[in-house]
Structure 1
Amino acid sequence: MSNSVAVAVLVTADLGKAIRSVRALLAVADVADGEVDFEATIRTPEVLSRVQEVLPGLEWWAVEGKEHGCSEAGDDPAVCLPVMVFDWGRPMDRAEPFIAAAAGTAAAVRWDLNAWPEVPEADLEAVSQKYAYLTLTLNSRDLYQREPSRDHTIHVHTDGTDGSARRVEWLAGQIGGRPTGRVEPAPI
């Protein structure tokens, strides 16, 4: 297990803009063998049904704790609402359907990339998979959905060194963003 820090580089109330910005960053990244991870607190049967359709077999547990219901025990999540959803290692093509299914819910989507490639014109070396992550938080400003919001935030993960700040600034510039000053620890 490694740790990264996540730097917020774009905050917008426009979900379409957030998705287009993520797509632009993914176009820069090496996404070979990439995966996507999901987190959300689901409070309504409607959202639960939509998310289950996109992520069959998802892992979940009751907000009150696993003893109040969980996928591991074979419980019915609709009876245990609200539930926490943590689903890992899905194909990257599941990201946008999940975003649509989770509409209005505080959630996070993290893309686990193969690498951030070298950018010679910006004097940036390649960054290995260990620190090549991108997170979009929906209806939340923070990675863990503790700060509900009406907007969405894109976070670029880094090793936290001074040298990585240049990459974060460069990536933010690719989407018309800039580091906002918000940096969060992000255990991976």
Structure 2
Amino acid sequence: MSNSDAAAVLTTPVLTEALRAVRTLLAVADIRGAEVDLEAIIHSPEVVGRVKEVLPGLQWWAVGGKEKGSSEAGDDPVACLPIKVFDWCRPLDRAEPFIAALADSAAAVRWDLDAWPEVPEAGLDAVSQKFAHLTLSVNSRDLFQDEPSQDHTVYVHTRGGAAHTARVAWLAACIGSTPTGRVESSSL
């Protein structure tokens, strides 16, 4: 396992604006073999029902720990609320239905990309899959749903260093934004 630097390039209270930014960045990236990882903390039976429709075979466990309930044990998620959802390696087309099912639940949706492109005019080499990720934190100010909020933040992941700073600025400019200055370490 390794870490990447996740730099916030947009924070907005408008989910559609955050999704527009994500779609723009996905259009820039190489996504031929990309997957999406979905995480959330769910408090509501209604949201559990909607998320289970989007993600059959949902993987989850009680916020209090697996011993308090889990999909592994065959427990009823509604009886174990609040629950943490960790559903990884899904096709890209699952991301937006998952986000739509969340209501006000805090979540992180991470796209594992094949690469960020080479940008010769900016002096940037292509960035391989290991460091090419995009995360949308929904109803949360951080990558891990520790800071619930009514905002949504778009993060781009790259490897650290000067090239990271230039890549983040270039990606932010692609969505008409500038880096917010917030950088978090993310284990991949």
Q: TM-score range by the shorter chain?
A: over 0.9
Which whole-Å CA distance do the structure 2 matches of 1:171 and 1:160 have between them? 15
1:154: Cα distance to partner?
Answer: 0.2
> Is the partner of 1:96 in helix, strand or coil?
helix
Give CA-to-partner distance per residue, 1:5-57, whole Å, 9 cap, x none.
11001001111111011000000000011000011000000000000100111
**Per-residue CA distance 1:72-125 (angstroms, 9 max, x = gap):** 111111111110001100000000000100121110100000000111222211
Q: Does 1:132 align with 2:136?
A: no
User: For the residues of structure 2 that align with 1:43 and 1:135, how far apart are their CA atoms?
Assistant: 22
Distance in 1, matches of 2:29 and 2:99, equals: 20
SS at match of 1:8: strand
Runs of 4+ in 1 over 3 A off after TM superposition: none
Name the amino acid aligned to 1:98. Answer: F
Tell me the distance in 2 between the aligned counterparts of 1:186 and 1:177.
Answer: 22
Query: Secondary structure of 2:115's partner?
Result: coil
Specify the code of the residue in structure 1 equivalent to 2:36.
V
Q: CA RMSD in A?
A: 0.7
Q: Does 1:12 align with 2:12?
A: yes
Distance apart, 1:179 and its partner CA: 1.2
Question: Hey, what's the Cα distance between the residues in 2 that align with 1:134 and 1:120?
Answer: 21
Partner of 1:38: 38
Long gaps (5+) in structure 1: none
Q: Does 1:56 align with 2:56?
A: yes
Correspondence 1:142 to 2:142: yes
**Seq. identity, %:** 67
Q: SS at 1:4's partner residue?
A: strand
Distance 2:178 2:156 in 1: 11
Normalising to structure 2: TM-score of the pair? 0.98
TM-score of the superposition, structure 1-length normalised?
Answer: 0.98
Structure 2: 5+ residue stretches without partners:
none
- The equivalent of 2:73 in structure 1 is 73
CA–CA separation in structure 2 for the residues paired with 1:172 and 1:89 = 26
